[in-house]
Structure 1
Amino acid sequence: AEVAEPRPAYMHSFGLSREYAVLTEYPWRFRLRRMLASIASGVFTGRRSAFDMFEWDAALGTRFTVVRLADGAVAGRFRAPPCFCYHTVNCFQDGDKLCLDMSCYDQVFYDDMTLEALRKPACPAGEHPGQLRRYVLDLSAGAEAQARVGGAVEVRVLVDAVVEFPRFDPRRRFDGGYRFVY
């Protein structure tokens, strides 16, 4: 699939069901101007982080692009409130709905994950509460669905806690029948 996007998003993980791949575009976008400034100020010498090339723009929200595996066509694009996710848990179909379980945060916090920050006695990375969320994408709703209560994208909080590097019974992959994530 090919999707034109003037400001590419950072992507760390994606969802994969039996029939679809789900690419999640967070509102943390690559900025060419920032990249040039980072190079000029030492990103490749260790004085700056490669993440300085990105900018958080919550107004963009989070967008899910669903790609049909059989032919590579875009089956739908969905918008949800802004969030950030390091790791996708699972992706499965439930009739016309595609469920994507992700370990989410309300915003990105890479600055708090530098070695310098993590060495501090009060590590700032622990100050970012996460949630295990399920995004339910209604594939029958059309190509440019908008998030709204009871609309084309439903957001459910499954666990109000951080769940990183998630694992579950691999026999339950694609069917959504798992009850435990660890």
Structure 2
Amino acid sequence: MYGERDTSTADDDDAHDGDAGDDNRPIYVTSGLLDVLLDMSESAEPEPLSVVLTPTRAGAFEADLGIDAETPVLTHFYLPEAGRSVTAVFGLDLSTPAGRGRARFHAHPQGPREPTKRDDFAAAVLVAVPPWERMAVRAYDRSGNRLALREIDAVPPEETLGDVAP
């Protein structure tokens, strides 16, 4: 089944879901990516986890997702360990190609349920806390304003090495 599923919860703390000032567009993420991120978070516990995320345009999917073709859908991630030694020496994340990784996922095993000053920020930030379930994931913009998180039950298009830009 293709389409979107709202992963926001209905408790009072979530009443401001989507209240993000001027830019309150939801963040779209595939079910498969959420599964992988939550599994990685559980495996890393009790350590926090930070993962660079990358999108695919909705129009690139084989199925109609019911959203604008130019809308980014988070579909892929860069392994957190990739380039760690280079980052330690130079203090820069050189493992993420330029122009990629405009979103980040952070797992906070001891909380809080929102971004912290220790997190690496991006245009979109997803934060998860235990229990490692979909309902424990929230989306924020660069300023820490809460955004709606919409799950897309679709498989991203297959990529080959020929798809990678030089």
Structure (1 or 2) with the larger CA radius of gyration: 1
Question: Which structure has more strand as a fraction of its residues?
Answer: 1
Higher RCO structure, 1 or 2 (CA under 8 Å, sep 6+): 2
The interval holding the TM-score normalised by the smaller chain is under 0.3
The TM-score with structure 1 as length reference comes to 0.22
The TM-score with structure 2 as length reference comes to 0.23
